[in-house]
Every structure is written in C-alpha cells, then in structure tokens.
Amino acid sequence: MSQSRRNQGPMLNFTKMHGLGNDFMVVDAISQPFRLRPEMIRELADRNFGIGFDQLLVVEPPGLPDVDFRYRIFNSDGSEVEQCGNGARCFARFVRDQRLTNKKVIRVQTAKGVIELRVGRAGMVTVDMGVPELNPPAIPFAADRRKDVYTVELGGDTVELSAVSMGNPHGVLLVDDVDTAPVGEFGPRLESHPRFPARANIGFLQIIDRTRVRLRVFERGSGETMACGSGACAAVVAGCLRGLLDSRVDVELKGGRLVIEWQGEGAPVMMEGPTASVFEGQLRLPADQPPKRRKSTRHSDAKSGTNRQNNRHRQPATSRP
C-alpha cells in the first residue's frame, strides 16, 4: 500500500446547513467515527481553505435518560460552547433527514442542560431555549449585584448593556439604528471584555416598537453572523427587562426573521424559525484520528415502535484503509 494511502484516515460524511444564514457543518457522530482537534475545526471553518461555517454541530448518543441525543457545538475558532439556537433548529431537521429519529418532539442534551425541539411544517422548528439566567455569577458577568442594565467601561468610552445567559453568555446594547451600530468596533472589544470572564456574544438591538426589533450580533468565537438564535432570545429578554417589549416579538436579523416569546422571569424563552439543508459532503480525516467505533443507535417513535434505517444519505463508515 502506498505511503500516502497509509497516511489517510477515515472518510467523514457531513451536511452543510443554515438557520437564516448562520451556517453549520453538521456531523452524525453516532454512525461514524469522529473526533476533531480545535486546530482542525479552525481549518475546516475557513471560508477560503476549508468548508466554511460559523459553527460545527455534532450529533452524539444521549448521555442522560429521557433524552434523544447529545448536541455538541464548536465555534469557528475551535471553542466548544453551551448553546446554539439556530443550530438547534437545524439539529432537529438533520436527525430526521438522516432517519436517526422520526419523532417530531426531540429532547436534546447540551453542555448546559436539556432543550426541546418541535418540528413543524416546511422546515420550521420551535425550540424551548430554557429559562434565561440573569444572576451575574451564572452568566458569567462580573457585577456586585444583579441589574437590568450595567455600565461597562470600554477604553475611553462607557456603554450600557444587559447581561443574559441562554446557556451561553450575551451582552445586549440598545442602538438607534443597527445599520450604523459600532458592531465592528465594540463587538470584539466587548466579546473579550474582562467583565465577561468566559467571553460573550454581543447583541446590538434596535427597538422598532413593542413587537418588532432589529438585531445584529457579534458572536463569541465566530464574529458577526447573519443571525444568532440565542442572541435573539437574549435581546428580547433584555428589552422586556427594560419594559420596552411585549411577550411576543418579531426579531429581524441580517439573514431573516425569528419569532421569540417570553412570558417573563422564571419562564422559558421560545424561539421559532426556519432551517435549510444546503448540501451533503465527504472529507477524509487525517490518519491520526483513530476511529472510536460507536454502536449505532437508532431512535424510534415511541408510538410506532418502528426503526427506520436510511442508507440513502450515508456511505457505510469506512474502516481504516
């Protein structure tokens, strides 16, 4: 066997998806061996030299009872994070497209808890994003007590922002017009501001009226994206805490619209929006990725009790050459 063949690892099947232009590489790590190092994720995320994506989403077998899958999320800088709202909707579509389940209500374990995904018609998915966390230590955000609006020193400037966790940390600033907001200047400086010890996603929120807003988000670990689902949730929470929004809000992002509902403190934030599957691909992993064979887990609908297997999308995971 040639040297080059010996240096080649297994093939990896993936699907490219997006939620309002926030785009993802999605991998079924149940049916095929998968393990990537952060530098490999950064290479694959590169829009010139790799596949190009904002986040990598990985489907794993559940680690908890009464949960269908585990959902791991990696930013384009290789960092693993706790939540991705647009990704959660695409996750629900992916596991059904790949016949890993035929359930319409899917429970998914993330690094920070369990979220419930409800598949609707025409690619629409509703996600229960959980109860927002507002206590500074849990966000995490450095503050001596919880406030609805904090003043943050930023070099010679000071900015007012709300701090919210949707499982992942967000800072939300009010702006008059998102088109002229200082996203490129303040985004990176606030993303890595010392008061956000785990860094943060930074939302720039323009209130149109009590039921409509516009939003741009400079995402932690990925930069400005076309849309941010958890950011839309955090922005509506911030607007409600300031008494500026009703409980159901249309959030206009660069890539399109999400509908966010929040009934107030202690209630979960509900997010509804579209999903899109763009293409399926294969790549060959480097040889130093020893396959960890997992037993294949097929999920069946509790009612039908049937397992549907689909090889339509997937080559059998190749063993090492």
Ligand X SMILES: N[C@H](CCC[C@H](N)C(=O)O)C(=O)O
Residue 242 labelled as part of a binding site = no
Q: Cβ neighbours of residue 303 under 8 Å, at least 6 residues apart?
A: none
Give the separation between CA 16 and CA 290, rounded to whole angstroms: 24
Of 202-221, binders to ligand X (CB under 6 A) are 219-221
Element (H, E) at 13: strand 8-19
Of 143-182, binders to ligand X (CB under 6 A) are 168
90 is catalytic: no
**Per CB under 6 A, does 25 bind ligand X?**
no
Write down the residue that tokens 């670990």 correspond to.
221
**Per CB under 6 A, does 133 bind ligand X?**
no
User: Are 106 and 117 in contact, with CB atoms under 8 Å apart?
Assistant: yes
Smallest distance, Å, CB 188 to ligand X?
13
233 is catalytic: no
Instruction: Among 228, 237, 240, 317, indicate the residue that binds ligand X (CB under 6 A).
Output: 228
Residue 75 labelled as part of a binding site = yes
- DSSP symbols for 238-262: HHHHTT---SEEEEEETTEEEEEEE
Indicate left, alpha or beta for 104 from its phi (over 0: left) and psi (-120 to 50: alpha): alpha
Catalytic residue among 90, 228, 233, 240: 228
Quick one: which segment of 31-39, 82-90, 247-255, 256-264 binds ligand X (CB under 6 A)? Answer: 82-90
Quick one: which segment of 7-15, 45-53, 85-93, 155-163 binds ligand X (CB under 6 A)? Answer: 85-93
Q: Cβ neighbours of residue 296 under 8 Å, at least 6 residues apart?
A: 30, 31
Instruction: Among 15, 31, 32, 55, indicate the residue that binds ligand X (CB under 6 A).
Output: 55
Residue 86 labelled as part of a binding site = yes
Mapped onto helix, strand or coil, the DSSP state of residue 85 is: helix
- DSSP symbols for 143-170: -SS--SSEEEEETTEEEEEEEEESSSEE
Bridge partners (DSSP) of residue 184 are none
Residue 210 labelled as part of a binding site = no
Residue 229 labelled as part of a binding site = yes
Site string for ligand X, 301-320 (x = CB under 6 A): --------------------
Q: Which is nearer to ligand X, 10 or 231 (CB)?
A: 231
**Per CB under 6 A, does 72 bind ligand X?**
no
38 cis-preceded (ω within 30 degrees of 0): no
Q: Which is nearer to ligand X, 101 or 225 (CB)?
A: 225
Q: Which is nearer to ligand X, 15 or 201 (CB)?
A: 201
Reading the block at residue 38, the tokens are 């952060």
User: Are 150 and 158 in contact, with CB atoms under 8 Å apart?
Assistant: no
Residue 230 labelled as part of a binding site = yes
**Per CB under 6 A, does 289 bind ligand X?**
no
Smallest distance, Å, CB 74 to ligand X?
9
Return the CA Rg of the chain. Answer: 20
Instruction: Among 230, 239, 269, 299, indicate the residue that binds ligand X (CB under 6 A).
Output: 230
Signed CA dihedral, 272, 277, 278, 280: sign only:
positive
In the complex, the residues that contact ligand X under the rule CB under 6 A are 22, 54-55, 73, 75, 81, 84-87, 168, 201, 219-222, 225, 228-231
Provide the annotated active-site residues: 84, 228
Q: Which segments are annotated as binding site?
A: 22, 55, 75, 85-86, 168, 201, 219-220, 229-230
Output the known binding site for substrate.
Answer: 22, 55, 75, 85-86, 168, 201, 219-220, 229-230
